[in-house]
Amino acid sequence: MKSLFLDTRPLDTRAKTELCLTEDILMENAAAALEERTARFFEAGKNCCKEARVLIVCGSGDNGADGLVLARRLKDKVFGSVKVEPCVLQVLPPKSSGCIKQTERAKKTGVEFIDKLFDAPLIVDCLFGSGFHGVLDTKIEELIIALNKLDGYKIACDVPSALDCAIKGGYTAFAADETVTMGAGKIQLYLDGAKDYTGKIYTASLGINGAVFESGFKPDAMLLEESDLRLPSRAKKNVHKGTFGHVAVVSGTKPGAAIMAADSALHFGAGLVSLVSRAGAPHFVVPYELMLADKVPDGASALAIGMGLGLQAEDYAPYLELINNRNLPVVLDADMFYCGVLKSILAARAGSSGSDAKTILTPHPKEFAFLLKTCGLADVSAADIQKDRLGFAKMFCTAYKDIVLVLKGATPIISVFSDAGFEAFFNPHGSPVLAKGGSGDVLSGLLAALLAQGLSAKDAAIQASLAHAFASKKAAQKISSYAFTPSALIEEISLLEKEF
How much of the chain is in helix, strand and coil states, percent to nearest 5? 45, 20, 40
| Residue, of 443 and 479, whose pLDDT is higher | 443
Query: Which strands make up the sheet holding 413-418, listed edge to edge?
Result: 185-186, 2-5, 221-223, 421-426, 413-418, 403-407, 359-361, 330-332, 302-305, 246-250, 272-276, 291-293
DSSP class per residue in 221-269: EEE--GGG--------SS--GGGG-EEEEE--SSHHHHHHHHHHHHTTT
DSSP class per residue in 409-440: SSS-EEEEEETTEEEEEE-----GGG-STTHH
**Residue 48 clears pLDDT 90, i.e. is over it:** no
User: What is the average pLDDT score of the chain?
Assistant: 92
**Residue 387 clears pLDDT 80, i.e. is over it:** yes
Q: Where in the chain is the domain with CATH 3.40.50.10260?
A: 2-218
Q: Where in the chain is the domain with CATH 3.40.1190.20?
A: 227-499
Residues 6+ apart with CB under 8 A from 243: 236, 271
Strands 51-58 and 122-126: parallel
Q: Are 346 and 332 in contact (CB under 8 A)?
A: no
Residues 6+ apart with CB under 8 A from 363: 333, 337, 371, 405, 406, 407, 408
**Assigned architecture for domain 2-218:** 3-Layer(aba) Sandwich (3.40)
User: Which residue from 62, 61, 86, 60 is spatially nearest to 73, judged by alpha carbons?
Assistant: 86
* pLDDT (tens digit per residue) in 191-220: 999 999 999 999 999 998 889 999 999 999
Q: Which fold has domain 227-499?
A: UDP-N-acetylmuramoyl-L-alanine:D-glutamate ligase (3.40.1190)
What's the pTM value of the predicted model, to 2 decimals?
0.93
Q: What is the mean pLDDT of residues 111-138?
A: 89
DSSP class per residue in 69-90: HHHHHHTT-EETTEEEEEEEEE
The whole-number pLDDT of residue 283 equals 61
Q: What is the mean pLDDT of residues 126-153?
A: 89
The whole-number pLDDT of residue 498 equals 77
The whole-number pLDDT of residue 360 equals 98
User: Which residue from 320, 340, 323, 339 is spatially nearest to 331, judged by alpha carbons?
Assistant: 323
With H, G, I as helix, E, B as strand and everything else as coil, classify residue 158. coil
Rg (CA), the chain: 26
